[in-house]
Chains A and B, each alone.
Chain A
Amino acid sequence: MEFAELIKTPRADNVVLHRPFYLAVEGTLCLTGHHLIFSSRRQDNAEELWLLHSNIDSIEKRFVGSLGTIIIKCKDLRIIQLDIPGMEECLNIASSIEALSTLDSVTLMYPFFYRPMFEIVEDGWRCFLPDEEFELLSSVTDEWRLSCINKEFSVCPSYPPVVIVPKSIDDEALRKVAMFRHGSRFPVLSYYHKKNGMVMMRSSQPLTGTNGRRCKDDEKLINATLRPGKRGYIIDTRSLNVAQQARAKGGGFEQEAHYPQWRRIHKCIERFNILQESLIKLVEACNDQSHNMDRWLSKLEASNWLTHVKEILTAACLAAQCIDREGASVLVHGTEGTDSTLQVTSLAQIILDPRCRTIRGFESLVVREWLQAGHPFQQRCAQSAYSNSKQKWEAPVFLLFLDCVWQILRQFPCSFEFNEQFLIMLFEHAYASQFGTFLGNNENERSKLKLPQKTMSLWSWVNRSEELSKFQNPLFEANSLVIWPSVAPQSLQLWEGVFLRWNRPSKFLDEAHEEMISIIKYNKELQAKVNALRRQLAQLETVDRMQENL
């Protein structure tokens, strides 16, 4: 298929662009295969706006006489309005955008066409490989092994080719356990807590069904992670009720009788359309310019977004508490183990492990706990808050995770190497990107699409010093401790950087940020100067002393 076929009108002049907090600009609109480009050539404020078609969540058109108006709502929650003279032109452009923003085939997406203009220092596709992770692990413990059982994705389609499992469990047993777990997602290592050797594992639900099936190998596998005489916790991210209902569909949870060394705790983290609706309501409330103070708070409350944030954070804190404070190992799962499970395991690591609070560490966490762990990004991020289609696979699971990270970052502003912009950038790229990193639903699909060969990795771009400097937190000072966030409602706030990004003026906050950077920069400069002088002085003094001795 040629993109040209979809572009009925490639260019329109005298188009007026409206955005909140900016004056309207007149310019030329161009459509290409992957971008909508608006450029104004006025001398006083020449500017260009490039918008990826894949970033467009929905479009609306309106007509007043022959003047057409297109309202474009983006997945990054921005809303822009284009006034296009000429009804036919406007209709053509609208239908072209609609077609281009809803392409079916992944291979037509921009990452397959994008050619980087920067020099690649480090190939992001080769960073964060499981082998490196295992090497780190084996330097502190030898109780685990790397299993290649899933090499051809033959055992579990949503797992990566290699996984870390207890050393005492052989591949044969793993195969049996896989049969006993939803989607074959058998328990694997998620995190090893160096401080006390406790671990966090994740899996999907066991297939106990109504008649209480059991699997000896499953029991053996997870018991292999316990120290003699110790007990562990199973954190089920569903309420007891939901978990019990799952039995009717062949799923279920670990029975006390068969797992006597484990204590099960149910937490209630919502999934799928409940989250999607929550996002839609929240964004609606944030964009509503009309209502008064009371309505705002009640709409915020009705969206339940912050409730979800609180639930997820609480579950993650609980997992971290079990590991660090109770000195127990933990297994986390929900139903499939691809959504709420990953929210909990990844957030718990941010709380426990200082490494995850660095830029590289966080990237590695996203790769391990989200991409390799098989979070179906393509399904979940197909549409964002403005979608009208009621597909059931969309859900802002990853965005909620980022929101939770932001909440912790807000409470510990000096403990993270990255800043809020870094999280916002990840949110944007998860939904629309020139990079292939978030394409596909799991490693299996990614390898079939040959993404590493055909597309550029987000990490190749981010990890260059030019880009990194934008994402560094000037306040960062490595904090080697476990950080316990507060989950009280008073402590959780709306993430303005994402949800109010396009409808609040950010000038004063940006200025404050710049001021912060310059204060710290000046301090560092002075330190360097003082150190240089000290050294110089010391040298002179030594010379002096030598002269004296002579």
Chain B
Amino acid sequence: VENVRLLDRLSSRKAALGTLYLTATHVIFVENGSETRKETWVLHSQISSIEKQATTATGCPLLIRCKNFQVIQLVIPQERDCHDVYISLIRLARPVKYEELYCFSFNPKLDKEEREQGWKLVDLNEEYNRMGIPNNYWQISDVNRDYGVCDSYPTEVYVPKSATAHIIVGSSKFRSRRRFPALSYYCKDNNACICRSSQPLSGFSARCLEDEQMLQAIRKANPGSDFIYVVDTRPKLNAMANRAAGKGYENEDNYSNIKFQFIGIENIHVMRNSLQKMLEVCELKSPSMSDFLWGLENSGWLKHIKAIMDAGIFIAKAVAEEGVSVLVHCSDGWDRTAQVCSVASLLLDPYYRTMKGFMVLIEKDWVSFGHKFNHRYGNLDGDPKEISPVIDQFIECVWQLMEQFPCAFEFNERFLIHIQHHIYSCQFGNFLCNSPKERRELKIQERTYSLWAHLWKNRTDYLNPLYRSDHSQTQGTLHPQMAPCNFLYKFWSGMYNRFEKGLHPRQSVTDYLMAVKEETQQLEEELEVLGERLANLQKSQLNDNKFKSKPQDRSKQLGLSTSNNSLANTPQEYSNDLKSFPSRSPSQGDEEDSALILTQDNLKSSDPDLSANSDQESGVEDLSCRSPSGGGCLPSEDSGKDSDEAVFLAV
């Protein structure tokens, strides 16, 4: 469709005219005019809603909201075209078969071996070995081979040694969807552990001997403690309501030596609505401070984030400080339980705060234990009531921790944002389907690529420059501030206003420090080379043997100038009053155009994921020019192909 206008949400003055293309996998908007064409790419699987608005004099507006919080506003001149686009997109955005998803057509041009290698990057057996398991208390059980006991669990499950197959099967029959208690995290130092399950089918009075034995076995696996905590992450009211349906929670009287605890995290429906409300606030055209704060409060989002954090903190404390094992469950044990177990693990074990460890953590607590990625993130057309930002909340918890502990994490904010992006993008196979069983049936590993390998390959982009493995913050358990410090939880504009560059800090401390560190590394190398040459030269002077080598003139590249900017960003609309005044001089207009061209150049050459993130668009400080390899933009594997996966952004 031609002559489509892409509107800038922040400024009504800026609108780009261009052509809209629909392909099998993407919506592409190409701007007219400039020589290097500016493009906006949106994956169909990222589209969360499409809204056709009332036709106006200028055309028919189409609003596309994306799952990565991008909002695109198009105006299509012809009503009929608009309708066609709308109908096509609705169909394209809601595939019904897994095979329609992008990961089955995405081909990063890796050979078979490389792909297999990629899938092996994260190995959970290795991870349990790292924790020190199997050992005297814990063993691997094959009770669930061929998914015979629980079809949403992995085939290999770690359970206490004293739990026989009989106990496990018996316990599984007493738990929702047969999700029996299994090991999530084990603390080598004191034998305390985190186990997870679903709710017991206790109703008002039912009991199950095997389930009681199962919990007993978990307690015995930690000889240092004479009880275990059972943490129900639901609000008490919800848990009680479940009893009427024959489900519910553990009765302390029936289980020997348990301490039962409710931690009120709301259910997926409350969370979905909360996010919806918060996004509405983010979308407000020019909100006042009060609109924003009031809306943020009203959404309850930060309150929910804090509830999840508090649960994680409680468990981490039980394990690290009291040396007590914890069994965590909610209803089905795949949403809140996954959030809480992974937050607690992250607090407890510095390994999960490294890049590799974080991948392992998501693989362990989310992917392997059957978090319903397909349902929660709406990859295939399904029940909208199943959709909920469960893992988004976990990712935000990590970000909130990063804000409190700036040196504790090996990875940076960008890493989190890109993981969030790809959970929805369906470009990699990792997060397809609802359970390991489905993934195996679909032969995901043979037919798609792994995100972890992709991220690992570009890991220099995701490093936190402040991280040092020998820094005190990276050691041991993190102790975040508890109750009174509500102010520690902040709105994450880097995520929820991710595509509105104008709102973000114009200079990134992270990027700056990354560039400095890269330069430092080069200096170290050069120092060595120079030292050698000097030694050689001194020797050779005696031999009168001239040392010939390419003069290494790095100094120019290294020159400390970050201020390559003809592109001062344009001011916002600070006042509407200015409009009626004579417009700007043409020369200034030209300046702006050239700025766009420059941006485009940068975009083309850079990794598409990053382009959505790099500073280049923000206009003011192009930090990437500081480092020879282009700072934030790693050379991509294949820039031509790569742009397929792009989410280019209009400035």
Taking beta carbons and an 8 Å cutoff, which residues of A are in contact with B? 231, 263, 265, 267, 286, 289-298, 300-301, 304, 306-307, 309-310, 314-315, 317-318, 320-322, 325-327, 410-415, 475, 477-494, 496, 500, 503-505, 508-509, 511-512, 515-516, 519-520, 522-523, 526-527, 529-530, 533-534, 536-537, 540-541, 543-545, 547-548
Contact = CB atoms under 8 A, between A and B. Distances in A.
A76 B636 CA distance: 51
B530 interface: yes
B513 A516 contact: yes
Given A508-B473, A519-B513, A489 B292 contact: yes
Interface stretch (B142-150, B193-201, B572-580): B572-580
A516 B466 contact: yes
Contacts of B465: 519
B166 interface: no
A486 B489 contact: no
A488 B288 CA distance: 8
Contact of A293 (B306, B472, B577): B306
Contact of A320 (B562, B571, B584): B571
Contacts of A545: 546
A416 to B, nearest CB: 10
Interface stretch (B217-225, B340-348, B478-486): B478-486
B289 interface: yes
B303 interface: yes
B406 A509 contact: yes
A541 B505 CA distance: 47
B546 A548 contact: yes
Nearest to B585: A327
Interface string B489-507: 1110100010010111111
Contacts of A297: 293-294, 296-297, 302
Contact of B537 (A293, A301, A477, A540): A540
Nearest to B540: A544
A533 B537 contact: no
Contact of B620 (A307, A327, A483, A488): A483
Contacts of A509: 406
Given A301-B289, A481-B563, A491-B503, 11 more contacts: A265-B575, A295-B486, A307-B288, A321-B571, A412-B506, A480-B563, A489-B293, A490-B500, A519-B517, A533-B527, A537-B530
Given A488-B503, A489-B291, A526-B523, A548 B563 contact: no
A487 B572 contact: yes
B468 A515 contact: yes
Contacts of B546: 544-545, 548
B563 A477 contact: yes
Interface in B444-480: 465-466, 468, 471-473
B88 interface: no
A291 B486 contact: yes
Given A411-B505, A488-B503, A516-B466, A479 B563 contact: yes
B282 A490 contact: yes
Contacts of A488: 10, 286-287, 502-503, 572
A533 B484 CA distance: 55
A329 to B, nearest CB: 13
A168 to B, nearest CB: 25
User: Across chains A and B, which 5 residue pairs bring their CB atoms closest together, nearest first?
Assistant: A489-B292, A512-B406, A297-B297, A301-B293, A289-B484
Given A488-B503, A511-B473, A505 B481 contact: yes
B49 interface: no
A481 B588 CA distance: 15
A515 B407 contact: yes
B509 A475 contact: yes
B288 A484 contact: no
Contact of A310 (B289, B526, B623): B289
B568 A530 contact: no
A213 to B, nearest CB: 26
Contact of A326 (B486, B505, B584): B584
Contacts of A413: 505, 507-509, 512
